Copies of this chain bind each other. A is one copy, B any other.
Amino acid sequence: MGSSSLIRVPLVRNISQLPEDNYGRDGFSHVTVAGSALHGMKEVEVWLQTLTPGSHTPIHRHSCEEVFVVLKGSGTLFLASSSHEKYPGKPQEFPIFANSTFHIPVNDAHQVWNTNEHEDLQFLAIISRPPVKVFTYEDWFMPHIAAKLKFPYYWDEQCLQQPVKDEL
């Protein structure tokens, strides 16, 4: 099959047929819409994520830019603009809703909750400079330097750690 070690993917993809996984997290669903490991993106990556009522992302930070576009549902963004302090501290709360957009300042700790008990919260998350390096916090008062690096991140693990072998 030649020397290419990339999986061939069609240029136009049906998002609802792309692989979806919860990566062991209850109430969570992630689809890599356009990714560095899967699709060869170098500068931007697009994810489709869904949170069931009551579920949430970890408290985390990353040094890339991130833009959210909320497609369905509503919830709360928690954001601590304190990357120059010792720890995130009490975050500000912002209501988010279908057809809203927001972006996360680089290195600010943040968390998205589905606080609507009746509906899933679904959004596109767009990041720069993939693959993402995520630092997670157990709580808002954990020092920045104690936040735990997870790299490659869950949805990048398989492709980054197990390069596809050429057929012989």
Instruction: Identify the A interface with B (CB < 8 A).
Output: 11-16, 33-34, 39, 41-44, 46, 64-65, 67, 69, 77, 79, 94-97, 99-103, 124, 126-129
Chain B residues closer than 8 Å to A16, beta-carbon distance = 99
CB <8 Å contact, B94 and A65: no
Q: Would you call A102 and B11 a contact (CB within 8 A)?
A: yes
A129: chain B residues within 8 A (beta carbon)? 43
**Chain B, residue nearest A79 (CB):** B11
Identical copies of this chain, number: 2
Q: How far is the CA of A162 from the CA of B12 in the complex (A)?
A: 38
Q: Contact: B46 with A65, CB < 8 Å?
A: no
Q: Flag if A15 contacts B46 (CB, 8 Å).
A: no
